[in-house]
Structure 1
Amino acid sequence: MNDLASYVDHTLLDISAIPSDIERLCREAVEYGFASVCIHPWHIAQASHLLKFEKPKVCSVIGFPSGATLAEVKMIEAMRTIEKGAQELDMVVNVGALKAGDIKSFLNDILLTVEGADGVPVKAIIETGLLTDDQKKQACELAVKAGASFVKTCTGFSCGFATVEDIALMRTVVGGSVGVKASGGIKSYSQAVELIEAGASRLGTSSSIKLIKESIGG
């Protein structure tokens, strides 16, 4: 697959990351042609400056990693990270609300983030490892209803990881107008290809360079 890099959000969500780590991440994103760098809000201003005239986008996580912050807080976080230069947002949904059957709160949580994003693409992380198949379907349907641009499997900080089965299910639910991001445990080129073939339009991984090197036989 010659265009694998264009699928990849080059990810660094280590809470101990320092500015030199972000500088390296951005340099790698430009060198390999990754879709974006995915980082914590604190690093957005730096990455935005480094990538100002480059192709990779700057993606911030929101409500990360639990998704249990107040919906209004996620909205403000979305607004502030965009002010700092974020061009995409990966927000963690309120999984507890969904599992409790509080659909109004679950939907409102995503709606407020989308409102705060004001047109910037929002990827709703549904934490597939915590949900039944029916709940995964419901989460995807509600995320689309709320205006999310993508649905995403996992944070990588909870249980579960991206599977071909989950990607296929999510793609079936959202159809072709919404993106599907596979994230969590993507460590090999063959796994990446399987996920893309199952319907993933974006991959989130911290093993980005390893995947690219494997793709060219390195």
Structure 2
Amino acid sequence: MNNISNRRQPPASLAPRDLAALIDISAVQAFHTEADVRELAGIAVAEGFIAAHALPNFVPLLRSLVPSGGLTLVGGPVGFPSGGHSTRTKTAEAVELAENGAQELDMMINVGRIKSGDFGYVRSEIRAIVEAIAPVPLKVILELAHLTDEEIRAASAIVAESGAAFVKTGTGWTPSATTLEKLKLIVETVGGAVEIKASGGIRSLDAIAGMMRLGVTRFGINTQVAVDLVRQCTALPGGRLDIAGKAG
């Protein structure tokens, strides 16, 4: 898994709409209300963000608010935010979300099993959910703040061989931000076998450009920050974010 030559090369630059098409926005905190979900849907559709995610009970509402066949996908979380649910519970939740119209799912990995070295359990769980919801793509969240470097490598390798579509860095429920150093561990491990979604503490165009140069192809960003970043991209010279060099 250490061959990074197979990963997709990033574009030289991004227009604002291209940037929005790489960003997931969400209302998945415990305090988010129906009004928040309605606002989320409106922003996602208006700005062209690639996906909007809501907590499972709000996914049917979100699905009703986001036009089918448009630029924005509807998503939801599985086993969120702890990852400690049983495989049977996670699978049932994933199937229900898919039946309710979710077009992609972000599943929290079982951190306790990773830290216990029970990699077979984790591998079997991911594969079971991938199979149960196919062809709906699954992103697997590692929650890097809870893992050592070796555990990040081990978990990334499991995700890459499990049939999941993405490995994702975090839920956004921990205070730790995703760093380039931690992302490098994932990139070096998965070698282009699975896409990478960076989430948690991403606040600048420079950070996005740097992560894309490493191989990140999707971002989870706070809704207001995401809107602001698209506006900042519009204001750049030529209205494009330079990925090959530095923003601005």
Aligned residue in 2 for 1:98? 114
Residue number among 176, 180, 201 corresponding to 2:196 in the alignment: 180
Identify which range, 168-177 or 61-70, moves more after superposition.
168-177
Contact 1:44 1:81 in 2 (8 A): yes
**Residues of 2 paired with 1:39 and 1:192: CA distance?**
23
**Residues of 2 paired with 1:138 and 1:24: CA distance?**
38
Alignment of 1:28-177 (within 5 A): 28-53=43-68, 54-158=70-174, 160-177=176-193
What is the CA deviation profile of residues 145-172 of structure 1, one whole-angstrom value per residue up to 9, with x for unaligned ones? 2211100001111353211122232122
Unaligned runs of 5+ in 1: none
What is the CA deviation profile of residues 189-209 of structure 1, one whole-angstrom value per residue up to 9, with x for unaligned ones? 222222222211000011211
**Residues of 2 paired with 1:186 and 1:47: CA distance?**
24
- What letter matches 1:20 in structure 2? A
Q: Secondary structure at the match of 1:191?
A: helix
- What letter matches 1:155 in structure 2? T
What is the CA deviation profile of residues 84-104 of structure 1, one whole-angstrom value per residue up to 9, with x for unaligned ones? 100000000001101111112
Unaligned runs of 5+ in 2: 1-13, 237-248
What percent identity do the matched residue pairs reach?
A: 33
- What letter matches 2:171 in structure 1? T
CA-based RMSD: 1.5
**Residues of 2 paired with 1:25 and 1:176: CA distance?**
31
- What letter matches 1:27 in structure 2? G
Structure with larger Rg: 2
Aligned residue in 2 for 1:214? 232
Paired residues in the alignment total 218
What is the CA deviation profile of residues 49-84 of structure 1, one whole-angstrom value per residue up to 9, with x for unaligned ones? 111332200111110100011111000000000011
Q: Secondary structure at the match of 1:124?
A: strand
So what's the TM-score if we normalise by structure 1?
0.94
Q: CA deviation at 1:40?
A: 0.9
- What letter matches 2:172 in structure 1? G
Contact 2:160 2:193 in 1 (8 A): no
